[in-house]
Amino acid sequence: MDLQEELDTKTMISLLTAVLEIEKRYAHELTGVRDTRRKEIKDLISKVVGEKLEK
Amino acid sequence: MKIQRIRLKNFRQFYGDQTLDIAPPGERNVTLVHAENGVGKTTLLNAVLWALYEETSKKFEQRDKILNFAAGQEGENTASVELTFEHEGKEYLAVRAHTTTPGGYAKTRFDVMAIGKNGALSAPLVNPKAFINTVIPWPMAPNFFFDGEQAESFASEKEGEKNVADAIRDILGCTLLETSIKDLDYVERAFNKELGSLKGEQRIQHLEDEIEKLVAESERKSLEVKTLETNISTYETQIGRIDEALRAAQEAAEFQARREGRERELDGVRGQIRETESEIIRWIGTKSISLVAKTLTGQSLDFIDEQSLKGRIPSPYNEEFVKGLLASEVCVCSRPLAPGTAEWRAVQDLLRDAANAEVMGRVVRARARIEVLDEHRAEAGTLLIAQRERLARLEQERQDLERQVEDLGKKLEGVPIAEIRDREHARKKLLVDLEAAKTRRIQLQRDNEHAEQAIRRMNNEIGDLALKNQHAQKILKRRQVAEKARAVLAAVLKNYEETAREEIEDAVNRILVRTARKDYRIRIDDSFGLHLLFSETGNPTPKSGGENQLMSLAFIAALVQFAEKRANEPHNELLIPATVAPLILDSPFGQLDDRYREDTAAFVPEMAPQVILLVSSSQGKEEVIRALEKRIGAEYLLIAENKGPKGDKRQDFAQVRGQRHATTLFNCPRTMTRIEKV
């Protein structure tokens, strides 16, 4: 699979923006949020890939 | 952020309600606070850190004792620090209060309120902690509220690299990017685990386990490389210090000078050896083929010449000419060439060998290439012999020089002065350790490169295996997206760090040109090690405590300038927004001698829009104050008031603006520190 072709630049940028949004949301919490944050990112990727590449 | 006022209520040694009004940005942007050691300079710095972040600096002792002792004795149970500040055109009041209940339970409350035009306070902001982190993000704060007494170790060999790297990353606001990269790496492996847990995918599971092991091993080795790099830098500096001491010792100076001369020559010869070896490798790539292909090129050229002689090359007839005959349907002998006849076909067959521009071009190119190879062959042997002879000569020179260096080392060991002998022994051991550390570092770096390749191979194999299973393919796509996202962010981060490193290095050097007595410049290497070099030679020079402090201050100044520049640029979504904050410098001149102090004092006001400078009388001498004079907008004395009598204790005085002030008082109502405006 050529990921570059399948997942266009625009989608990658919006994915990265969404990842950073999640990071920002948790940035000021000092403890106990790592796993929640990572799960959110994993779910986000699954959702984006599901919408864009698995139709 | 502009701090307007710091108000302390029963905070540590500051009894009661005391205030410092801070000089605003402008020509007189320095707030100068004089205090003897132990009276409260560091407490003032920490009051700001505590108020904004509930954090204190490393050397702040008994950090849980916030309430002033006398106030506690008198029944007070709350200590607080208030900061009035302006941020993006609005005024705010930040209040952190620490209350102790009768049961000894302590709680801290933090509020930030906006101040209206009429001075009225708004309701407390819902998330004051998050707000303060947008004003000055916590990772950036220690670079603005800087403990000068730690400046010496800030840029030192042992801790420097990490401090410098962290400071650059923090001021650059990389935290978000770094966490995202780590998280995406974790997510990538989580998808791999998911792949491995699919029914019947034991091989993927096995590969995933192997990857996990390799990742853990690589992380361990990377940490070891970091330690080794610190050690290498320490060894090099220690060797530099020993060399300096040997140069300074009369009995060793001559041998040491000769050794340094030989070592410089040796460096040069080693460089030439590397260059010659590279030349030989290049020779293999460009010239050796002409020797190997000698028979082939000879035969090819003979063939072309022979065929040319016979008129076969290029072909005796031209493609255009044959096509013309076929088109006109008339032969050269004037007989008709009717399409489809035996004659027509015979003429058409000639097209197979007819020469066209391309074929002719090929013959010309082949001949030219063969001639070049012939020329190369003629010079190839001579060149190689010359390079080999040069290499042999250089190797001989290297051996001679190494012997001379060793002999001079023995002479130094033989000097009948124990101190010199000991230094030479220590130097010898350091050289062995240095070599061992460098070898180990190369080995570990190679191991990690191999591990990276193995991980890439295994990930590819996982990808191939997953293609056979539709569900696995879905997970694989997700993993690949996580991988791609991580790679994009890592590349962005590297690019930002590189640019920041270069800009900060330039800024530090501009400051050093103005302040350093010797002709120094600094270099921040790839792993963020801060090296002091002689400008002329580019050679590293060992740093004294004062030089470390000067370098640290120059570095902090460069960081603040960088932050200011970033703050004026359009906001970058990938980084934490930059900030411009007041710079609070606690005892920044400690290790500097008088001349350095004057020069440093002259550039301190330019370090930030507002500078709060905390100095003791030994640091704030007349010359320093003179250098700062035109920039001082507010000046305070911290007076130590003691309840007890003077007895044998020393009475301190501070000379401020021609007046002598007693800074230690006795027989006072209570023991405390009083802030007095000058």
Q: Which two structure tokens, joined as six digits, stand for B675?
A: 């802030």
Q: Which residues of chain A have pLDDT under 70?
A: 1-7, 28-32, 53-55
Q: Are B337 and B329 in contact (CB under 8 A)?
A: yes
Element (H, E) at B87: strand B78-87
Q: Which residues of A fall within a CB distance of 8 Å from B573?
A: 17, 20
Q: Which residues of B fall within a CB distance of 8 Å from A23?
A: 176, 179-180, 183
| B184 touching chain A per CB within 8 A | yes
Residue to substitute from B54, B132, B187, interface A, most A β-carbons within 10 A: B187
Give the tens place of pLDDT for each residue, B626-657: 788 889 999 999 999 998 898 888 888 887 77
Which B-chain residues 100-129 have CB contacts (< 8 A) with chain A? Answer: 127, 129
Contact A3 B484 (CB under 8 A): yes
Cα(B151)–Cα(B148) distance, integer angstroms: 5
Q: Which residue of chain B is at minimal alpha-carbon distance from A4?
A: B484
Rg (CA), chain B: 38
Regarding pTM above 0.80, the answer is: no
Cα(B508)–Cα(B168) distance, integer angstroms: 13
pLDDT at A1: 45
Contact A27 B133 (CB under 8 A): yes
Q: Are B646 and B662 in contact (CB under 8 A)?
A: no
Q: Which residues of chain B have pLDDT under 70?
A: 59, 148-163, 309, 311-316, 355-357, 517, 527, 537-546, 573, 590-591, 619-621
Cα(B331)–Cα(B119) distance, integer angstroms: 111
Closest in A19, A37, A46 to B485, CB measured? A19
pLDDT at A35: 87
pLDDT at B315: 67
Closest in B127, B190, B574 to A42, CB measured? B190
Residue to substitute from B53, B178, B183, B467, interface A, most A β-carbons within 10 A: B183
Q: Sign of the C-alpha dihedral, residues B12, B13, B14, B20?
A: negative
pLDDT at B154: 62
Q: Are B554 and B547 in contact (CB under 8 A)?
A: no
Which ipTM was obtained for this model? Answer: 0.91
Q: Among residues B627, B655, B651, B615, which one has the least CA distance to residue B31?
A: B615
pLDDT at B606: 85
pLDDT at A5: 55
Ramachandran category for residue B329: left, alpha or beta (phi over 0 → left; psi -120 to 50 → alpha): left
Q: Among residues B178, B280, B10, B195, which one has the least CA distance to residue A19?
A: B178
pLDDT at A2: 52
| B226 touching chain A per CB within 8 A | no
pLDDT at B165: 74
